[in-house]
Amino acid sequence: MRSDVVKNGIARAPHRSLFKALGFIDEEFARPLIGIAVAQSEIVPGHVHLDSIARAAAEGVRLAGGVPVRFPVIGVCDGIAMGHEGMRYSLATRELIADSIECMVMAHGFDALICIPNCDKIVPGMLMAAARLNLPAVFVSGGPMLAGTKDGKPLTFTTVYEAVGAVAAGKMDESELKALEEAACPGCGSCSGMFTANSMNCVTEALGMALPGNGTIPAVMAERLRLAKKTGVLALELWKKDLRPRSILTENAFMNALALDMALGCSTNTALHLPAIAHEAGFTLGLDLLNQVSAVTPNLCKLAPASSTPIEALHAAGGVPAVLGELAKRKLLRLEAATVYGVLGDSLAVNRNSAVIRPIEDPYSPTGGLAALKGNLAPEGCVVKRGAVAPSMLKHEGPARVFDAEEAAFDAIMAGKIKAGDVIVIRYEGPRGGPGMKEMLAPTAALAGMGLDDKVALITDGRFSGATRGAAIGHVSPEAAEGGPIALLEEGDIIAIDIEGRSINCKAPAQVMEERKAAWKPLPPKVQSGYLARYARQVSSAASGAILRD
C-alpha cells in the first residue's frame, strides 16, 4: 500500500501516534487510506450539503474495507462573486484547487482518492488533480438544485439576473423582482440549468470518472446519497485493480466528453476546462477538435438557459445515459472507452422523454451546441454557445461599442446607451488582463431582460457564465492584454460575425489595424500584488485552457 509510507514499520511509530491522536486504532493501519477531497462550505449553495455526501461516501469506503479520511477544498460561488472584484478569483482558484489536492495527497500518503465537487471551477480543478496524481480516483458531485417555481413556471438563478434588466427597461417593477429573488433558488445544489457546474458534472460521466447519475440526480434526493455510498465502495475496487485516471482519461474519453457536450449544449466554459484537464493527462485538446466534433454531433437538448427546462427534467428523461444512448445510435461515441465502472457502453439508457432529449433522428440542430470561431479578430479562436443564440443572430454585422472593463459596459447597458444592431466589445478581461477572466453574466442577462439578446452581440476576451444566452462570444484570443486584435478595435468599427461559418472579423482595413498595432501600448496591470498578480504573470491563453505556464 502506498499509505505504508506514513504508517508501517518501527520508523513510523511517531506517525502512528499522530494518527492515534485522530482516533485511529491499530486495525486501521492494515487497511488502505482513501482520501476524500470535499469542497463543503457555508457560502456556496451547491456545496453547503457536501458534508452529507462525504459521510455517505465514507460509509461506502468502510463497507468495502477501507479507511476514509476527509480533507477540505476551497470553492468560490460564481453567482455570489459575479459582477464585482470577486469574479477575478473564480477561474484562478481552479489551479489552487488542483495544487492543494496534490499537496494533501502527496503529503499524507493516500492510496486512492474520492473527489466531491459540485460547482464551476471545483469540478475541473479536481479532475486536473486526479489526472496529475494518477492514483485510483472517482468522483461524486453534490447534484443540481431543484428549479424554483412561480405561477407554475420554472425559475433559475438566471431568471433573477434577467429580471434586473427588465426592471431597468421598465418592463418589471421591483416588487416582482423581489418575488423572483425569493423563489428562484429553493435550496441546496448547483444552479438548476445546463450552466457550468452541471455541464462539468455531466461531462465527468462521459469522461468515465463518475458513476451514471453524477450530473443529474438532484441534490436533495436520497438517490444522491446512495450514489455517494456506491462511489465509496467503488473507490476500493479501483484501488484493488490499480485502475488509474490516465488509463481512463484517454483520447477516447475526451472525444466522448466533447460529443456529450455538443448534444447537451453545455457551457462555453467546458472549452476552457477540457483542454486544461487534457493537459494534465498528457496531451493537447484544441478548439479545432471542438469544431470537428460539433460538425457531426447533433444538438439534442435545450435546457436552461437555452429554454426554461431545468436540469431535473433531464434526470427524469434518463439523464446522461439516455443522451449517450441517442448518440450511440449514430456511432458517435467510443463505447469501448474505459470508465471507473467498466466501459462507457455499459451506461447507455433509454430516452424516456423525447421533448427533453430529442431523438437523434429529430435534433434541434444537426451540429453541436458549441462553436469555435476564428478570424482576424480572434486568430487563435473564440467560443460561443451556439445552441443558445437566436437564429436571427447567427449571422450579424454591426458597429463596435468598445469598453475596457465589464463594469463600464454594464453601466452603458443599464443606462439605455446600447441599441439594436450594436456589437458590444468588452476587453482587458482575459486570463491575464482581467486578471482571472471574469464571467459576464450581468451584462448578458441585462440585455436579455431588456429584450435585446436577439438584437445585440457581445464579444469579449473574458468569458461567460454557463447561464448566459444570446450572441455572446467569449475567450477571444489572443486577449487584449497580450496585444491581440481585440485591443486595436475602435468605436464604430464594423464587426462581422458568422457563427455557422465559424468566423469573426473586423472590417477595418488591414493597413489601419497595422498602424493601430504599432501605436498600441498595454494598460497598466489592474492588480499588482497578491495571488492574482502572480496568476496574471503565469497564465496562458484561453485558447489553451488558461493553464499556468511552467
Catalytic machinery residues: 465
What is the rounded CA–CA span in Å between residue 364 and residue 332?
Answer: 17
What is the rounded CA–CA span in Å between residue 19 and residue 106?
Answer: 16
**Residues 181-193: b if buried by 16+ CB within 10 A, e if exposed:** eebbbbebbbbbb
Give alpha helix (H) positions in 82-195.
88-108, 122-133, 157-168, 174-183
Instruction: Name the nearest CA neighbour of 145 among 81, 179, 193, 91.
Output: 193
Q: What is the DSSP letter of 525?
A: P
3-class secondary structure per residue, 199-248:
HHHHHHHHHCCECCCCCCCCCCCHHHHHHHHHHHHHHHHHHHHCCCHHHH
**Neighbour-count burial of 483, counting CB atoms closer than 10 A to its CB (0-12 exposed, 13-18 middle, 19+ buried):** middle
**Neighbour-count burial of 51, counting CB atoms closer than 10 A to its CB (0-12 exposed, 13-18 middle, 19+ buried):** middle
Question: Which three cell numbers, joined as nine digits, stand for 543?
Answer: 485558447
Instruction: Name the nearest CA neighbour of 37 among 74, 92, 81.
Output: 74
Instruction: Name the nearest CA neighbour of 481 among 438, 515, 531, 418.
Output: 438
Phi, psi of 365 (to 5 degrees): -150, 145
The alpha-carbon radius of gyration of the chain (Å, integer) is 23
Strand (E) positions, 447-486?
457-460, 472-477
Count of residues for the chain?
550
Question: What SS3 class is residue 345?
Answer: helix
Question: Which three cell numbers, joined as nine digits, stand for 31?
Answer: 487497511
Judge contact between 438 and 410, C-beta under 8 A.
no
Give alpha helix (H) positions in 337-472.
406-414, 441-449
Question: What SS3 class is residue 338?
Answer: strand
